[in-house]
Structures are given as C-alpha cells and as structure tokens.
Amino acid sequence: MTLVLQLLPGEFAVCRLAPAAPVPAWAGSPVFSSVTRTGDELSIVCPAAQVPVDVKHEAGWRVLKIQGPFAFTETGILASVLAPLAAAKIGILATATFDTDYVMVKAERLEDALHTLAAAGHMVRRG
C-alpha cells in the first residue's frame, strides 16, 4: 500500500495539563492542533512557539499528515507507516481525525523517518 504523507510546516509540542483544566486559548492552530481529554490528563499538541514556558511539555516534534480521507472500513493505513518506523527504531506519536491520521516524529529523527518511509514505498511531500 503506497501512501502520500505531507510534512506540515513548523515544530510542534506535546503538552500535559490537569484532567479538568479548561482548553487554553493558546492551544489552537490553523496548521494543526489536537486536544485529547481523559480521566488522567488533558493532552494538547500545537505549535511549540505557542506553549507558555510554565506548561509541562515536550517540544521538537514534526508532523506528517497521511493524505486521506480514508473510510473507517479501510485497514492497515496507520500500520503501513508505523511498521517501517518501528523497524528503524524511530519513536512516534500518532493521532487521528475523522478523515485521516497524523504521525509525529522528533525533529532530530525526521530525515531518518522520511528516508525510511520512502524506502517502504510511501511518498513524502515537504511543505
């Protein structure tokens, strides 16, 4: 299965807030942001430059969008991206929307990830 992935511009951060915290205004982005609330935490992914210094976070992530949309009945989409990255020992953070999946890799492993994905038969578009 050949997929097209789009490298989104900029550096992103993954933030952890208290589970009952309100979603802060700085969490949004027209490029990409993700907000997930569980009983344990409020997790936010957004551009790193937007995150206040006093918020627990890890910056240095790059985001790859798997070009969709994909029907919910399609299988193996995410696995076809994650399996080669796992074999190359490249850690990821993944999230999904209604239409597609997003895979985040640390900036220092981005070039390795792009080469690995290309070797697996996927196409990666920059910018």
Overall fold of domain 4-126: VC0802-like (3.30.2130)
Asked if 75 and 16 touch (Cβ cutoff 8 Å), the reply is: no
Convert the pLDDT of each residue in 78-103 to its tens digit. Answer: 999 999 999 999 999 999 999 999 99
Q: What is the DSSP string of 37-60?
A: E-SS-EEEEEEGGGS-TTS-EEEE
107 by Cβ neighbours in 10 Å (0-12 / 13-18 / 19+) ranks as middle
Q: Does pLDDT of 56 surpass 90?
A: yes
How high is the mean pLDDT of the chain?
A: 96
What pLDDT score does 111 carry?
A: 97
Convert the pLDDT of each residue in 57-68 to its tens digit. Answer: 999 999 999 998
Domain boundaries, the chain: 4-126
| Beta strands 123-126 and 12-17, pairing class | unpaired
What pLDDT score does 121 carry?
A: 96
User: Look-up: residue for tokens 């993700």?
Assistant: 34
